[in-house]
Amino acid sequence: MSHRDELLEKIRDRRARVGVIGLGYVGLPLALLFEEAGFAVVGFDIDPAKPEALQRGESYIRHIGAERVTEAFARGRIVATTDFDRLAECEAILVCVPTPLGRHREPDLSFIRATAAEVAQRLRPGQLVVLESTTYPGTTREELLPALEGRGMSCGTDFFLAFSPEREDPGNRHFHTRNIPKVVGGLNPASQDVATALYGAAVERVVPVSSPEVAEAAKLLENIYRAVNIALANEMKLVLDRMGVNVWEVIDAARTKPFGFMPFYPGPGLGGHCIPLDPFYLTWKAAEHGVWARFIELAGDINTAMPSHVVDRTAKALNGHGKSLKGSRVLVLGLSYKADIDDDRESPSFEIIERLREEGAEVAYCDPYIPASRPGRDHDLGLASVPCTADEFARHDVLIVSTAHTDFRDAALYRGVRLVVDTRNLMASLSLDEGENGPEVVRA
C-alpha cells in the first residue's frame, strides 16, 4: 500500500494523529477542532506557559472558554507540549506560526523557517505537512519544500505538503473553525488528496484549489480587500470631516442600497494579525517581480496614518477646552484591536498611546479584557487597565474611544466626563446630553 493510501485510510478511520504547531489564536481552536472530530492531537508551542495552562484545563484566550479546554483534555485524546521530538508521532503536522513584518515592511519568515527546520529533522515517510500561516504566493514551494526534501524524501511519494490558509475571526459568534470553508492547495495530486481528506474530516466544507500559490494568494486577496475598503472609509472620513459631514450617517445611508455596496467603517487604524500586515507581503513579493502594487501601498499608507490623525484631533479638541496635550490626562478606551475580545495584536491603541506620551500627555488605558498590557515585538507600555467606572473616567481631561467594547456602552460611565474623542461612533448609540449636562463628543 502506498503512503498516500495508508494515510487516507488512517484519516478515514480517525487513526491519524494530528500535530498543531503554534497554540495561539489560530492553532488552539484548530487543535480543539480536530480533537472534537475524534482525532488524537498533539499541540506544540515554544512558550511553556501555554502547554502548562492547557494541561491544567485553562484557556489563555478569552473567547475560547476554559470549559471547552477542560472537556477536551479530560477525554485524553489531546496533549500539549514543548517537546518537538513528538512530531514523529504525528501523521499530519499543521503549522500555525506568526508571519510578522520587519522594520521596513518586509516579510519576516523566521518563524516559518525555524519551524520547517524542526519538522525536517523529524520527518518520516507517510506524513502530511500543511502551512496555515498567512504569507506571499510561493512560500510553501520555495521555503518548506526544499527544507523537507533535504532529508532525501520526495514530496507526493514519501511525504505530502499543502497550504491551507487560516480564516479565524476571534469573537465571531456565527462563524468559527468548523463552519468557515477551508481552502486547500496541495503541491501535487497526492498531497491534495490527503490534505483535502484531513480537513474534510473536521470542517463542514473544503474548497480544493489547483496549487499552494492559489491558496496563498486567495488569503492575501481576502485581507487586502478589507484593508483597501477600510482605507477608503478612512479617507472618506478625513474628507467629509473637513466638510462638516458625518461619515457614519453617510455609510448608513449608502448601505441601504441592496446591491453593489458593502459597508466598511473608519477607525483609529488597523489591528489584528492579518489586515495590517498581509497587504505588505504581496507588495514586497510584487516588487520582486518588477511590479509596483501602488493601490495596495496607498491603502496601507492611509491606514497606518490614522493613529497620528487621532492624536492630532485629540490635541485640537483639548485646545478648544483651553488645554494643551502636554500635561493633560488622557484615557484610551480599549487596548484590543476590536470589540469584546482580548486580542491586542497590532492594535492601533498602542501607537496612539505612544504618540500621546511623546507629546507629553499623561496616558492611561481602560480595557476589561486586558487587565495588564503585554509586551510585544514593538511595544511595551508597562501599564495596567484602570477601573471601568464613572469616577475613573471623570478623572481625565479627555477620553479616546479606540475600541467599541460593550462595557463602554453605558451612558452612566460618562457622568462627569468633559470631552470624548470618538473613533468608533460609539457615543452616538448612547443617550447623552452634550454641553452642560454631558461631554463634548468629537469624531475622529
**CATH number of the structural domain spanning residue 293:** 1.10.1040.10
Question: Do 126 and 200 belong together in one domain?
Answer: yes
Assess if residue 170 is contained within a domain: yes
Q: What is the pLDDT of residue 435?
A: 56
Pair type for strands 160-163 and 182-186: antiparallel
pLDDT at position 433, please? 66
User: Are residue 150 and residue 249 in the same domain, yes or no?
Assistant: no
Query: Residue 263 and residue 249: Cα distance in Å, rounded?
Result: 12
**Domain co-membership, 17 together with 94:** yes
State whether the Cα torsion 359-360-366-367 is positive or negative: positive
Q: State the pLDDT confidence band at 156, using cuts at 50, 70 and 90.
A: very high
Least trusted range by pLDDT, from 6-15, 46-55, 287-296, 429-438: 429-438
Same structural domain, 299 and 177? no
pLDDT tens-digit map of 140-149: 999 999 999 9
User: Could you say which of 173, 191, 210 is where a domain stops?
Assistant: 210
- Count up the domains in the chain and report the number: 3
Is residue 329 within a helix (H) or strand (E), and if so which, with residue range? strand 329-333
When pLDDT is averaged across residues 325-334 and rounded to a whole number, the result is 98
* Alpha carbon distance 376, 402 (integer Å): 19
Q: Which of 286, 303, 320 is the last residue of a domain?
A: 303
C-alpha distances in Å from residue 29, one per residue of 35, 112, 202, 271, 286: 10, 20, 12, 20, 32
At 422, which CATH number? 3.40.50.720
Q: Give a yes or no: residue 181 inside a domain.
A: yes
Asked whether the beta carbons of 28 and 64 are under 8 A apart, the reply is yes
Domain range for 281: 220-303
Distance CA 403, CA 51 (A): 30
Does the pLDDT at position 173 exceed 60?
Answer: yes
Are 323 and 268 part of one and the same domain?
Answer: no
Residue 411 lies in a domain: yes
Examine the pLDDT at 197 and tell me if it is beyond 70.
yes
CA distance 370 to 340: 10
19 found inside a domain: yes
In a domain? residue 165: yes
Integer Cα distance of 412 and 390 in angstroms = 7
Do 287 and 141 sit in the same domain of this protein? no
Q: 95-104, 153-162, 226-235, 299-308: which has the minimum mean pLDDT? A: 95-104
Catalytic status, residue 274: yes
Among 155, 274, 366, 388, the active-site one is: 274
Q: What's the rounded mean pLDDT across residues 344-369?
A: 96
Least confident window among 40-44, 168-172, 245-249, 407-411: 168-172
Rounded Cα gap, residues 197 and 70, in angstroms:
28
What percentage of the chain reaches a pLDDT higher than 70? 99
Q: What is the mean pLDDT of residues 220-249?
A: 96
- The answer to whether 115 and 78 are in contact (CB under 8 A) is no
Higher pLDDT, 50 or 176: 50
Residue 215 lies in a domain: no
Q: 117 in a domain, yes or no? A: yes
Which of 262, 277, 303 is the C-terminal boundary of a domain?
303
Residue 91 and residue 14 in contact, taking contact as beta carbons nearer than 8 Å: no
DSSP state of 384: B
Burial class of 67 by CB neighbour count within 10 A (0 to 12, 13 to 18, 19+): exposed
Q: Report how far Cα 409 is from the mean position of its chain's Cα atoms.
A: 24
The sign of the CA dihedral 162, 8, 166, 179 is positive
Q: What is the pLDDT of residues 404-438, one digit of tens each?
A: 999 999 999 999 999 999 999 999 989 776 555 67
Over the stretch 7-16, which tens digit does the pLDDT of each residue have?
A: 999 999 999 9
26-35, 56-65, 127-136, 203-212: least confidently modelled range: 56-65
Confidence class of residue 265 from pLDDT cuts 50, 70 and 90?
very high
pLDDT tens column, 79-133: 999 999 999 999 999 999 999 888 777 899 999 999 999 999 999 999 999 999 9
Contact 356, 376 (CB under 8 A): no
- Say if residue 246 is in the same domain as residue 377: no
Backbone φ and ψ for 316, nearest 5 degrees, come out as -65, -40
325-337 mean pLDDT: 97
Report the mean per-residue pLDDT for the chain.
94
Tell me the whole-structure pTM to 2 decimals.
0.91
Percent of the chain with pLDDT over 90: 84
Q: How far is CA 164 from CA 130, 131, 433, in A?
A: 7, 6, 51
- Domain shared by 315 and 251, yes or no: no
User: 22 and 97 in contact (C-beta within 8 Å)?
Assistant: yes
Instruction: Examine the pLDDT at 287 and tell me if it is beyond 80.
Output: yes
Is the model's pLDDT at 275 over the cut of 80? no
Does 196 lie in the same domain as 323?
Answer: no
Label residue 225 exposed, middle or buried (CB < 10 Å: 0-12, 13-18, 19+).
middle
Question: Within this chain, do residues 126 and 201 fall inside the same structural domain, yes or no?
Answer: yes
> What kind and span of H or E run contains 80?
strand 78-81
**Maximum distance among all Cα pairs of the chain, rounded to whole angstroms:** 81
3-state secondary structure (DSSP) of residue 52 = helix
Q: Which three cell numbers stand for residue 311?
A: 492624536
49 plus 162 within the same structural domain:
yes
- Looking at the fold, whether 201 and 256 belong to one and the same domain comes out as no
Query: In this structure, is residue 230 part of a structural domain?
Result: yes
State the Cα–Cα distance between residues 147 and 159, nearest whole angstrom. 12
